[in-house]
């Protein structure tokens, strides 16, 4: 082998390693009920992301809006990983008009300097988590919120922070959505399939991440239909901030971009010490989704509700939620 050929072979191996690491890192992304509805196909210098309907929620998420949003978060995680490996990526969203499940294509484009910010974001992926415990009595710093809103905006979505009167409207809608879901047997069956127990298969939400009693909160959190093992204090999250992740249209592309923005905002919040809890019940139920749209003056479309709060220093370490093994989500061509 000539020197040039050996260098080229080494480059190809390095590219494959970076892409493989990106797909593995993307597996840490948040997803509705921890379904991880993504499938990555890895070729020489390219990663293709497909929606995996086998881990979709037919009843809760019939349009796959929350699954696609989750995939968007995975795309952003992959981009963070590749930036930390010194790669600029050419990203094509929905690259195949004939196949709407082909959500994204990431191609290594050219080398870029690795920045301390890129390394920090990659480290933050390992720290980010959903925290269903009450937030502390400390208020969320307005400057930190502005930085989170800017991070979401830079990734292509909006974040509307609700006024106190709107939070009460949100609470009413969340209560209505929970009752609608609780009344439907198919909805409950799907929830029970994905939550509770010890989850040996690496997906779904284990009891360790489900509160052992209903936390005191202004806006009801997810009603899992049973209590788990997560210790929660009797504190009330009255100083939490509630916000709507939104955008101008309501298409697959918008849900994908919303997921990227969710990841960008969540990683930024984590770096600022702000806890994040997504609340999607009002988005899942058509009537309450329309109601949440009123809170945006009917101008934009809501994708997800988020609670932001200061971490309660009395809380122990964050609960661990498992992930599927890489060989179940990554296919090497
Ligand atoms: C689109 C979306 C919707 C979610 N909805 C809720 C929700 O309504 N209630 C909740 O407690 N967690 C919700 N989550 C958090 C997921 O359950 C969580 O991301 C998943 O279990 C993985 O755990 P982790 O975020 O700690 O890694 C949602 C996450 C996403 C991405």
Q: What is the mean pLDDT of the chain?
A: 94
Give the pLDDT confidence score for residue 200 in this predicted structure. 63
How far is 166 from 219, CA to CA, in rounded Å?
11
Give the pLDDT confidence score for residue 199 in this predicted structure. 66
Of residues 312 and 267, the one with the higher pLDDT is 267
Q: Where are the domains positioned within the chain? A: 3-127, 142-310
Q: Which residues of 238-264 are buried (b: 16+ CB within 10 A; e: fewer)?
A: ebbbbbbbbbeebebbbbbbbbbbbbb
Confidence of residue 196 (pLDDT cuts 50, 70, 90): confident
Closest C-alpha to 171, from 69, 314, 282:
282
Give the pLDDT confidence score for residue 170 in this predicted structure. 97
Query: Would 3-127 and 142-310 be classified into the same CATH topology?
Result: yes
* CATH superfamily name and code, 3-127: NADH Oxidase (3.40.109.10)
- Nearest CA residue ID for atom 4, ligand 1: 32
The CATH number corresponding to 142-310 among 3.30.1330.30, 3.40.430.10, 3.40.109.10, 3.30.310.80 equals 3.40.109.10
Please work out whether the CB of residue 281 comes within 6 Å of at least one atom of ligand 1.
yes
Please work out whether the CB of residue 205 comes within 6 Å of at least one atom of ligand 1.
yes
Distance from the alpha carbon of residue 205 to the mean position of ligand 1, in angstroms: 9
pLDDT tens digit sequence for 56-112: 999 999 999 999 999 999 999 999 999 999 999 999 999 999 999 999 999 999 999
Please work out whether the CB of residue 70 comes within 6 Å of at least one atom of ligand 1.
yes
First to last CA, the chain: 25
pLDDT tens digit sequence for 208-219: 999 999 999 999
Give the pLDDT confidence score for residue 9 in this predicted structure. 77
How far is 172 from 219, CA to CA, in rounded Å?
8
Number of H helices, E strands in the chain: 10, 9
């Amino acid at each position: 082998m000539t020197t040039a050929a050996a260098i080229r072979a080494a480059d190809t191996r390095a590219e494959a390693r970076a892409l493989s690491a990106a797909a593995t890192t993307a597996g840490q992304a948040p997803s509705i009920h921890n379904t991880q509805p993504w499938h990555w196909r890895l070729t020489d210098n390219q990663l293709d992301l497909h929606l995996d309907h086998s881990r979709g929620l037919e009843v809760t998420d019939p349009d796959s809006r929350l699954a696609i949003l989750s995939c968007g978060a995975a795309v952003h995680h992959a981009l963070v990983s590749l930036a930390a490996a010194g790669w600029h990526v050419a990203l094509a969203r929905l690259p195949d008009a004939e196949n709407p499940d082909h959500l994204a294509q990431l191609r290594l484009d050219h080398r870029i300097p690795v920045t301390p910010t890129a390394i920090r974001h990659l480290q933050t992926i390992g720290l980010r988590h959903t925290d269903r415990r009450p937030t502390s009595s400390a208020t969320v710093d307005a400057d930190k919120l502005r930085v989170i809103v800017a991070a979401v905006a830079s990734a292509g979505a909006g974040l509307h922070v609700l006024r106190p009167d709107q939070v009460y409207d949100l609470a009413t809608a969340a209560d209505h959505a929970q009752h609608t879901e609780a009344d439907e047997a198919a909805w409950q069956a799907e929830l029970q399939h994905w939550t509770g127990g010890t989850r040996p298969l690496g997906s779904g939400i284990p009891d360790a991440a489900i509160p052992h009693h209903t936390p005191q909160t202004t806006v009801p959190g997810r009603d899992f239909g049973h209590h788990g093992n997560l210790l929660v204090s009797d504190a009330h999250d009255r100083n939490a901030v509630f916000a709507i992740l939104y955008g101008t249209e309501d298409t697959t592309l918008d849900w994908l971009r919303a997921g990227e923005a969710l990841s960008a905002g969540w990683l930024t919040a984590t770096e600022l010490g702000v806890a994040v809890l997504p609340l999607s019940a009002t988005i899942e139920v058509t009537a309450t989704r329309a109601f949440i749209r009123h809170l945006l003056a009917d101008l934009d479309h809501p994708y997800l509700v988020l609670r932001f709060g200061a971490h309660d220093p009395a809380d122990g370490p964050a609960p661990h939620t498992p992930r599927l093994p890489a060989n179940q989500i990554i296919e090497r061509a």
